[in-house]
Amino acid sequence: MKNFCKKTLQLSALGVALTTCFATSVHAQPDMGPTEKLKTEIGNNFDRLFMIHAAMGNMAEVKLGNLALKKSKNPAVHMVAKTTIKGHGDAQKALAMHFRTMNIPMPADAGPANVALYEKLSRLSGPAFDKLYMAQQVGAHEATITLFEHEIENGKNQTAKMHAMNTLPHILMHTSMIYDTAVRVKAPGANIRPRQVIEAAMDAHAAMKH
């Protein structure tokens, strides 16, 4: 799994930015410029950033999943929604304990981008909702995989690293199901996704348990 996220899933602006930052040394130098200082601070605080983004993602998935149960009539989309509500809800409960252990505050909400997405989706229903919701699910879970893989490879805080290691296999299983459903409802871009990436990651994580 080494460097998995760097080689396969540089799919989100956050993932790309953070992995680029970690490609350089995180040790501050006296003559550092603003960009180098930013990279150093991201490196030193990545565990905290990971926790914050993971928590906001969980909040968004639960809220969007509940919206999907109201707006969609597609049984496969309902199954995705129920699975993500349960999975991300359980992950959020674990994260809440980790936030207390690390003595950092939980984010108050899912963040402006997720709030805006919810508002946009709330104006849709039926097949139009299904397509946009599933396209969002694909992108969000790919970005989450990038984030979690990066924490596993580069995180320094053992609480955060262990949460990533314990949660990622469930995210991978969700993503496999999400790919199938996204193709089924003809979500934009779903047909070009390299499913083999997810299957290889699932195999690798399964092998790590033996």
State the pLDDT at residue 202: 66
Residue 70 has pLDDT above 70, yes or no: yes
Average pLDDT for 75-85:
97
Q: Which residue has the higher pLDDT, 28 or 16?
A: 28
Residue/partner pairs of 62-68 with CB below 8 Å, 24 or more apart:
62/88, 62/89, 62/92, 63/110, 63/114, 63/118, 64/114, 64/117, 64/118, 64/121, 64/133, 64/136, 67/118, 67/121, 67/122, 67/133, 68/129, 68/133
User: Comparing 14-23, 139-148, 198-207, which segment has the lowest mean pLDDT?
Assistant: 14-23
Band (pLDDT 50/70/90 cuts) for residue 59 is very high
Tens digit of each residue's pLDDT (9 = 90 or more) over 116-173: 999 999 999 999 999 999 999 999 999 999 999 999 999 999 999 999 999 998 898 8
CA 52 to CA 110: how far, in whole Å?
Answer: 10
Q: Where are the domains of the chain?
A: 45-208
CATH class in words for 45-208: mainly alpha
Residue 77 has pLDDT above 70, yes or no: yes
CA 39 to CA 23: how far, in whole Å?
Answer: 9
Tens digit of each residue's pLDDT (9 = 90 or more) over 157-174: 999 999 999 999 889 888
State the pLDDT at residue 31: 65
State the pLDDT at residue 204: 64
CA 111 to CA 50: how far, in whole Å?
Answer: 14
User: Comparing 54-63, 71-80, 144-153, 171-180, which segment has the lowest mean pLDDT?
Assistant: 171-180
How many CA atoms within 13 Å lie on the side-chain side of 117? 22
Average pLDDT for 163-189:
91
State the pLDDT at residue 210: 54
Q: Cα dist. 57→33, 36, 204 in Å?
A: 32, 28, 24
Residue 5 has pLDDT above 70, yes or no: no
Other CB atoms within 10 A of residue 38 CB: 13
Band (pLDDT 50/70/90 cuts) for residue 203 is confident
Its pTM stands at: 0.77
Tens digit of each residue's pLDDT (9 = 90 or more) over 42-57: 777 899 999 999 999 9
Residue 22 has pLDDT above 60, yes or no: no
